[in-house]
Structure 1
Amino acid sequence: MKRTYPLLFIFLLTCVIAAGCLSTDSNTQYAPQEESFSFGNKMVEPAADEVWYDSDDRSFNVADSGEATGSSITRKVITTSDVSLEVKDAPEAIDSIGAIASEYDGYVSSSSVYDTYYGDSESMSGYISIRVPAAEHDTVLGRI
C-alpha cells in the first residue's frame, strides 16, 4: 500500500504535464479595447492624436503617421573595439586603462581581475570595458 501512493502521484503528475504540453489552444483572445478608460466614477479621454516632446537638447513631433519630425535629434555613434593584451600586472594595467579613459571624458563601465590556472601554472587575468566619446576612440585606443 505504501508503494502505491508514490506511483499514483508520479502517474498523476505525468498526466498533468502531458496535458499541459499537448494543449494546442493558446490564450490569444483579448477583450476589445475601448476609446476611453474608467477610473472610479470619472471617464478619462484618449490622448490627442499629436504629441510634442521637448527637452533641453532635442525636440520632435510625433504626428498621426508615427514618424518623428523635428528640429534636432541627438545621435550617439557607437564604435566597439576588442583588444587582448598580455601584461605583467593585470590590476595595474586595468587601473592604467581606467585612467586613460578618464582623461578623455570616458569612464569604466565594468572590470574584473581573477586568477586563472592552466596545469601547474597560475596567472592573473582580467577584463575591462570602458566608454569614451566616439571622437576620442582612436586616440584612446592608441594610448592603450
Structure 2
Amino acid sequence: MRRIEIDDEVYAELERNVKGFEQPNEVLRRLLLEKGHSTAAALGMPNAAAPSIPGALTALIEKGIVQAGDTLSHVQVRKGRRFAAIIEADGWIRTDLGRYKEPSPALGKLTGTSIDGWAYWVHDTTKQSLRQLRAKSGGSGRGGH
C-alpha cells in the first residue's frame, strides 16, 4: 500500500464527508471512484467524465437473472436487524452506506463484520441467494466469473 500525506484542511474535509463508520481511505474511494463522480469532479473540476468499472453483479444482469433496481436483503433474526440494498445498472450494489463493487464488502459494512455477501444477500424477487443465482448463471468463484 502506498501512503500520501495530506494537510489538516484536506483531512477536515474528509471528516465532513464520512458516512457511518468510514475510514478516510473509504471516503476518498467513495468520492473519487463512485459512479457519476470522477477524480476531476471530486476535486472541483466540472464536466469530467467518470470511468465506469463493472460491478460483480454485471454478469447476472447481462444474463437477465437480476435487473437494475432489484433489491437485496439480509435479515439477522436473533439481532432483529434487516439490511437492504439495490442492484445498480453497472452491477454495483448500493446500500445506505455507499456503493460497492462486490457483495461481501457491501454486507460487511452494514453488519460490522466479515460476511459472505454471495451467501447471505437474498434477491428479493426470486428469494434466492446471490450464490444460488450465480450458480444458475453458470458463474463461479469470486465475482461470478
TM-score band, normalised by the shorter chain? under 0.3
TM-score (norm. length: structure 1):
0.23
With structure 2 as the length reference, what TM-score do the two structures score? 0.23
Q: Normalized per residue, which structure has more helix?
A: 2
Q: Which has the larger radius of gyration?
A: 1
